[in-house]
Chains A and B, each alone.
Chain A
């Protein structure tokens, strides 16, 4: 098996008909992701259409006339078939119009805007914790035999503590007993908000962080045991260089995947934290809207959560393809 001649006539033909290579792979992934989002959003829309509650009564109140009701029904297109309604909703959504809230009588977008900011700040803080502390501890646990057991036990515990339990403990100890942090709310202004969100971010990062730590430690340990690492040691290459260039560099790929998965789910996880700490983010808005049967809001926030999840996971998938040389065609 020596150097092959690159393109035989048959191969050229096949390549012309079915393009392979990185560009096409990425395009396929992105298209697949879009299809997933569309399908998921349709399923959610369809499910919610089955939910109890009459939008017209909610919007117009109990004393509306019959003509007003009929007019409103026509305006909202409530008698159209499901697919048509979905199509209208989708096209509006893509242009940033999410309709009007039944409860607040305001545009859904205005309701979501500031709350999304709060949630994103919370998520960003948790993300930093997860990446810095989670991966850091994972590397420590994977590299050092001494720390491995401690890290392992800690992650086992961290994974077992649900977000809302962590929140309760943190509030009890750090907010009530020690008084270091506020017990609820998201504060005003950037610095105040950050201070308010420290405990929530911590609560949010415990579970996801433990998962990242566990996977990082496993990946590092696995790479450290690979035979090419033995080869490098046998060549007299200094340990620190081997760790950096071979163990950590190789573990970076699976670690990136694990971190991406954790980060993708953070917006959804923030829901519970917002409820626990009384934070007015989109998660809390979602819960309130479900109780209040405010389905335009529910649909919109659900879409945001799904889109964030799919976008983050797709970015990770694409990065995998780009960064792993084995994904390139063999010469």
Chain B
């Protein structure tokens, strides 16, 4: 607990040391993405294949994870729904990271009143909780796939912008930046070739964590009925559709979908944290 520092590991040694959590979480994430890509083909049944005779069954030989109230195979729905569950979040993360990076880097580079204006703008964006933005977006654009995508992209931009701005500010203060400026290299070039190159590992780590969070948030909007609509097998929709079934003692649809979401979020969170730790040590 004491603050005595003993320089026992150089950065190189930290980098070389194997990180089991990183490996495990990365494997999980890759598996999940693979499922999202080919889940539909892997599914034993069609996700919307109704079979009233087999309704609300628990796990069994024909339906490994049971069926919902319409007799649809839960496993197939989960597998097929993975793609839709990931699609929105991917767009959200891409959009918010790209826009957040632009805003953050520009604010860090020019500083002054531009930075202050951005700060005020971000404060306003932070003041409106994400779910509220999603609700209002679905009022304006109608419920569906795009309202939560637009809304959550807007919601995530300030987080990305703040983090990237701090990193860019730190980078901008390094001596080499001034050297490049004096040598007459253009601002655009300095930022894209040098600042971004040093900052992008952090961006990747944050984006990874963001993907899991976006998936959970997107599913939440679908859950309250303002996002993707049934009968689509998106995981949030599945949890919502399974609500009535829970009351009948058949929670399999909700719990399986819920488990899928939790596993995804945990995997991407852990991967993102391990990446951030590794990139931090390598600096």
A295 to B3, Cβ gap below 8 A? no
Chain A contact residues: helix, strand, loop or mixed: helix
For residue A122, give the distance in angstroms from its CB to the closest CB of chain B.
Answer: 15
B139 to A295, Cβ gap below 8 A? yes
Within 8 Å by CB of A44, from B128, B224, B242, lies B128
Within 8 Å by CB of A287, from B135, B137, B239, B246, lies B135
A160 to B236, Cβ gap below 8 A? no
Cα–Cα, bound, A230→B140 (Å)? 58
Q: Which of B37-45, B102-110, B167-175, B255-263 is near enough to bind chain A?
A: B255-263
A168 to B255, Cβ gap below 8 A? yes
- Kindly state whether residue B251 has any CB partner on chain A within 8 Å: yes
Cα–Cα, bound, A157→B243 (Å)? 22
> How many residues on chain A are close to B (CB under 8 Å)?
55
For A278, give the chain B residue with the smallest CB separation. Answer: B243
> How many residues on chain B are close to A (CB under 8 Å)?
47
A305 to B129, Cβ gap below 8 A? yes
CB-CB under 8 A for A176 and B138, given A165-B262, A305-B129: no
Task: Give residues 124-145 of B contacting A (CB, 8 Å).
Answer: 124, 127-132, 135-140, 142-143
- Kindly state whether residue B203 has any CB partner on chain A within 8 Å: no
A225 to B1, Cβ gap below 8 A? yes
For residue A292, give the distance in angstroms from its CB to the closest CB of chain B.
Answer: 10
Within 8 Å by CB of A168, from B128, B129, B243, B269, lies B243
For residue B87, give the distance in angstroms from its CB to the closest CB of chain A.
Answer: 18
For residue A179, give the distance in angstroms from its CB to the closest CB of chain B.
Answer: 11
For B263, give the chain A residue with the smallest CB separation. Answer: A160
Interface-centre pick from A32, A293, A295, A309 (highest chain B CB count, 10 A) = A309
CB-CB under 8 A for A271 and B135, given A157-B266, A309-B127: yes
Task: Give residues 272-306 of A contacting B (CB, 8 Å).
Answer: 272, 275-276, 286-287, 290-291, 293, 295, 298, 302, 305-306
Task: Give residues 115-160 of B contacting A (CB, 8 Å).
Answer: 123-124, 127-132, 135-140, 142-143
Cα–Cα, bound, A134→B105 (Å)? 36
Q: Which of B71-79, B88-96, B194-202, B215-223 is near enough to bind chain A?
A: B215-223
For residue A110, give the distance in angstroms from its CB to the closest CB of chain B.
Answer: 22
- Kindly state whether residue A59 has any CB partner on chain B within 8 Å: no
A287 to B258, Cβ gap below 8 A? no
- Kindly state whether residue B29 has any CB partner on chain A within 8 Å: no
B contact set with A: CB distance below 8 Å: 1-4, 123-124, 127-132, 135-140, 142-143, 212, 216-217, 219-220, 223-226, 236, 239-240, 242-243, 246-247, 249, 251, 254-255, 258, 261-262, 265-266, 269-270
A contact set with B: CB distance below 8 Å: 32, 36-37, 39-40, 43-44, 47-48, 50-52, 156-157, 159-165, 168-169, 171-172, 176-177, 183, 224-227, 229-230, 233, 265, 268-269, 271-272, 275-276, 286-287, 290-291, 293, 295, 298, 302, 305-306, 309-310, 313
